[in-house]
Chains A and B, each alone.
Chain A
Amino acid sequence: MRRWLLISVPYLWLLVFFLVPFFIVFKISLSDIATAIPPYTPTFDWSQGLSGIGTFLSQLDFENYFFIFEDPLYLNAYWSALTIAAISTFLTLLIAYPIAYGMARAPKEWQPTLVMLVILPFWTSFLIRVYAWIGILKKEGLLNLFLMNLGIISEPLTILNTTTAVYIGIVYSYLPFMILPLYASLEKINPSLLEAAEDLGSPPWKAFWQVTFPLSIPGVLAGCFLVFIPATGEFVIPDLLGGSDTLMIGKTLWNEFFNNRDWPVSSAVAVVLLLVLVVPIVLFQRNQEKQREAGR
């Protein structure tokens, strides 16, 4: 009994905060736009009982999904969002790994402070931190002044309102989400494994690639998922730092929802986005599990 209760907690969580909202969005994606409250039709009429459910279901269709695939705009936006998210995830990993490695190798009594320092930026609002980057990256901003005073550049660089600024914003904002899982897995590695590698004549760089890195892979994967998934749907960073031509699915979704007032099409865009993210991730994890079992 107690075991069932324990197991049911995560499933209940999944049901209430994932499946129910998902089915509401999915239901709206099958309806049509209308000038009413709420702005789509049909809506569910409980008073008609079972026959009401029948007429309700008969009015639903997949038209909005066909629409999304007819216009290349949506596919391009998905693709561009996935590319931007993938590149930023890779850059985040490159920067986070040495930091996490340094933290894991630091004296034990220092480590809580270092973890604290990584979390510290969260004490300021996310929005304010992104705004701060406008001040740093703009033409008369801190970065350009600094580089020009040093004589490295003579003309100010145009970084703000370009895709480069979006990469900077995403890497900066999501860095802690990459560092923390990496640190957690690196910190667990037993130092005697590296000593053993050294004793057996392995140079440090080889020991890193053959011992440390493979053992940190769970942390790498966790960090990459934590960065890649929210970065794909990111709206605030491209809106504030990106140029007008930075096409991302978050902005396309916003346009559908707010400018076109088309809740059904925007719901369809959201459902497809979820499938684009969830299906490959589930397949990937299955594959990982299989490999792990085969390795045993």
Chain B
Amino acid sequence: MITLAGIRAPIAGTIALAALLAGGAALAADREVRVYNWSDYIDEEILTEFTKETGIKVIYDVFDSNEVLETKLLAGGTGYDVVVPTGPFLSRQIGAGVFQKLDKSKLPNLKNMWPEISKRTAIYDPGNDYSINYMWGTTAIGYNEGKIKERMADAPINSWDIFFKPEILAKFKDCGIHVLDAPDDVLPAVLNYLGLDPNSSNPDDIKKAGELVEKIRPNIQKFHSSEYINALANGDICLAIGYSGDILQARDRAEEAKNGQTIAFSLPKEGAQMWFDQLAIPADAKHVEEAHIFLNYLMKPEVIAKASNYSNYANGNLASQEFLDEGVKGDTSIYPDAETMGRLFVKTSYDAKTQRLVTRTWTKIVTGQ
């Protein structure tokens, strides 16, 4: 009897497995699209409404760093049909053959896009052949209003001076300062501040930028790319270099918590980096047809406006602007005025050698090694 049971168990297992596989095959016949987007970046209602309207099921998954997305894409076979890399990453990934060209005949809503933004995203993706803008934002300064005023009444918060003049930054050391642990986001800002080309791959320029950051290093409590959101909101730190939407998220969290902290965002007068998160379809995507339907749906003005209203980020869709909440459209830290827009710069991707130099310079700054 023992042997019989021993044989029967695997058979039962095989049957169950076969049933499962058959079930899987039946599911695959249903239409679906697998989306891999940044965390906290979409109003989930958009996904349910999309399924209701088209009958296509959305399998939605999130990531929190370009590096993680890129590593998956370069390893191949991700199983995703739509992914959302940031500009410089996108352009390098196009070079590596990661994406397929969009079939623009299936994307009639492209007419809604904002030429001003499309012009800038073409720097990464000439002709915008592979990608569509989802959201864009800036990398600048987040601060705690009360704590900054308390320490320096006339603090130059509208200028990068507050970060890059060591004697000024030192005044805020005691209340906590965080900086993104992302050389590609911080060094261009330093180069721009020094009057150099933010995209410079000249080793001397990168060295100069590195030396300046080393001077302010003793005042910085931590280099980290996401901890500052909570730390700002809780009042654990008073100053941070971070992404616009993240800082606005910290502002909203502090307001909701009613903890007496007022967080604000500043776009310095010297200019700041503007970045673009782009929707693209991997070359090995299995649901290409559905991916196009999904992208076209996201370009509907009222749909993408809903996503912006949720995430506090600007989108690249001009027609959507009439559907935006006043708090989003009217906020110059989300939609800067024309003059500020002129001072924003974009960053292209580094070649492997410059990338290594930049990472090495950064490691020296951060660890002192």
Contact = CB atoms under 8 A, between A and B. Distances in A.
Given A33-B352, A73-B363, A261 B74 contact: yes
Given A35-B95, A38-B75, A243 B369 contact: no
A294 interface: no
B318 interface: no
User: Nearest 10 pairs between A and B by C-beta?
Assistant: A258-B67, A244-B223, A247-B367, A39-B74, A37-B76, A35-B96, A244-B366, A259-B359, A260-B359, A245-B367
B71 A161 contact: no
B156 to A, nearest CB: 25
Nearest to B89: A261
Contacts of A39: 74, 96
A37 B74 contact: yes
Nearest to A248: B367
A38 B352 contact: no
Contacts of A246: 367
15 contacts: A33-B352, A37-B98, A39-B74, A72-B369, A76-B369, A138-B236, A140-B236, A244-B222, A244-B366, A245-B367, A247-B367, A259-B67, A259-B355, A260-B356, A261-B74
Interface string B67-80: 11011011110000
A45 to B, nearest CB: 16
A140 B260 CA distance: 15
B222 to A, nearest CB: 5
B225 to A, nearest CB: 11
A275 to B, nearest CB: 22
Contacts of A140: 234, 236
Contacts of B67: 258-259
B8 interface: no
A54 B369 CA distance: 41
B169 to A, nearest CB: 16
A262 interface: yes
Interface string A260-285: 11100000000000000000000000
Given A247-B367, A260-B352, 9 more contacts: A35-B95, A140-B234, A243-B221, A244-B181, A247-B369, A258-B70, A260-B356, A261-B71, A261-B74
**Main DSSP-derived SS at the A contact region:** loop
Interface string A109-153: 000000000000000000000000000001110000000000000
B276 to A, nearest CB: 20
A257 interface: yes
A260 B355 contact: yes
Interface residues of A, number: 28
Interface residues of B, number: 33
B24 interface: no
Interface of A: 33, 35-39, 71-73, 76-77, 138-140, 161, 243-247, 252, 255, 257-262
A256 B356 CA distance: 9
Contacts of B31: none
Contacts of B74: 36-39, 261
A161 B366 CA distance: 13
A262 B367 CA distance: 20
Interface string B214-225: 000000111110
A261 B68 CA distance: 10
Contacts of A259: 67, 183, 355, 359
Nearest to B351: A35
B342 interface: no
Given A37-B76, A140-B236, A255-B363, A161 B96 contact: no
Contacts of A258: 65, 67-68, 70-71
Contacts of B236: 138-140
Given A38-B75, A260-B356, A245 B368 contact: yes
A262 B350 CA distance: 13
Interface string B325-369: 000000000000000000000000000100110011001001111
A73 B97 contact: no
A116 to B, nearest CB: 30
